[in-house]
Chains A and B, each alone.
Chain A
Amino acid sequence: MGAMSPIISVSNLSKTYASGFSALKSVDLDINRGEIFALLGPNGAGKTTLISIICGLVNPSSGTVTADGHDIAKDYRAARTKIGLVPQELTTDAFETVWATVNFSRGLFGKPRNPALLEQILKDLSLWDKRDSTIRTLSGGMKRRVMIAKALSHEPQILFLDEPSAGVDVELRQDMWQLVRRLRENGVTIILTTHYIEEAEEMADRIGVISKGEIILVEDKTELMRKLGKKQLTLVLQQTMAAVPAALAQYNLALAADGEELVYTYDTKAERTGITSLLQDLASAGIRFKDLNTSQSSLEDIFVSLVRERK
């Protein structure tokens, strides 16, 4: 396997549930080795179905998936050995101790016992003090840590985090992202789904957007931000305005805040943003302003507008 070949390759993957609901429609997706890939999409878009198929929890209706070159159906042992999954739901064995359940996970994935490694994982997740506690006595955040420890116990090369921040406090979220970064430094590929778009914006190398069972966009995060990133210049006027003067029509200005603000939307990647001429024209039209600010559209804005476009 070359270093540049995708670590996960999904091709023509479809899933129609028995109810007739079509959760995935002919999805193609490559995940690069060693990247953090964020899969964004509204509820019911097919994020969890896609992850569940790759991890072996759901049978696909058609299509293929390979993990590190191994077909997930024909060569499931080799494929699954590479993969760790932290599911969305907190499903743990209530009556087991943390130590027992993490050991169990490692064995289940075909690895010999390795207490030193598990100790390190538990320490990294601030669980070492809780190793002899039964899981039901732990808080929700601690249970989430246990789920992560279980998924890491067999040293996976690919880690799936399905909505990892759902119901998690700030401290754990930051611990988790630190861990994710450390894992990536060690060459682990991470695929996460999230509703916290700022998280994807902060963490991910690449972003995929899924909507109604179709991947509608896969893009480098910075590229995506640049390509779709629009900037807005807001001018707070000294005197309210009823309508944009005809002399300024070419700038497609919008009035906001009951005529107190003029908003100019421009493209950051364009050679000429038009700001200089706009300001000159404003001055010659005698329009004075008391304040101005610029803002860049966030990934969330991009995401919302993308999903809206499809509707």
Chain B
Amino acid sequence: MYVSDFTYLRPKNLEEALDLLQNKDDAVALAGGTDLLVELKTGVRLCSHLVSLADVEEFKFIKEDEKSIQIGAGITHSQIMQSSLVKEHIPALALAASKIGSHQVRNNGTLGGNICSAAACCDSAPVLISLNAQIEILDATNKKIIPLEDLFQGNKINTLKKGQLVSKVIIPKTGKGTGVHYEKFGLREAMAVSVVSVSVMLKIKNESIENASVVIGAVAPTPKVSVAAVGILIGTPTHLLVEKSDPILRVSEAAVGDSIPIDDIRGGAQYRRDVLFSLTQRCILKALESAQKNV
């Protein structure tokens, strides 16, 4: 195997990186390389300029302010798993990160890379989307903030334009009574691509669901909010959310209804619906459990 010829560029800072991405033909940003190198080696992707983000220190932070946790795009999955801020405020994200690839992959792969690869089975996006995360997109002249959802256009297609980079993910802090959980179903216990994934966020107030989000992964071209499931959840008294209860079955059915799965080598469309149905129930119960603990 070999990588086709390209020019390697190593900007020293963010400004230089954005300039190169804007002005070089066919320029691709290199973060951890765990996806990009595979694509270059297998010839799925060609590029004439590779812009290394290795020295772009501006992307390597996890910090908080009053309203949010902010994670730089250059933070690796391992760093997310180890971050005390993440563990305290978004444990479900640490859980999702722990389910990506292998330890070696998590050591190099970055959050920015994971979401920009825009795979339908992306493991970090469902939790983030369920928390209404936003991303900051930069180019040489502009800066904008958009919902993470809007980065995903189709399987492995993102909405970034030439010269644009995702610089950070902004995750709103959740108040008391909120719980988030992530369930992933793969075909082996580790190093498995998600066949189905679900993230559920629940906020309890007065013993009923005040706010909720259900994000389903690997069952549509992009991770997707199940609007129908959320609709049923909001307002449901928490005591009705127990195993096999009517509302929980209806929510899961709604999630299935919002899915548009395909047949592929990992599973058939109907199988994905069946698994999604079960996974959604489990995920709701776990999310509820953590919401109830978070008082």
Indicate whether A and B interact: no
Q: Which A residues contact B (CB, under 8 angstroms)?
A: none
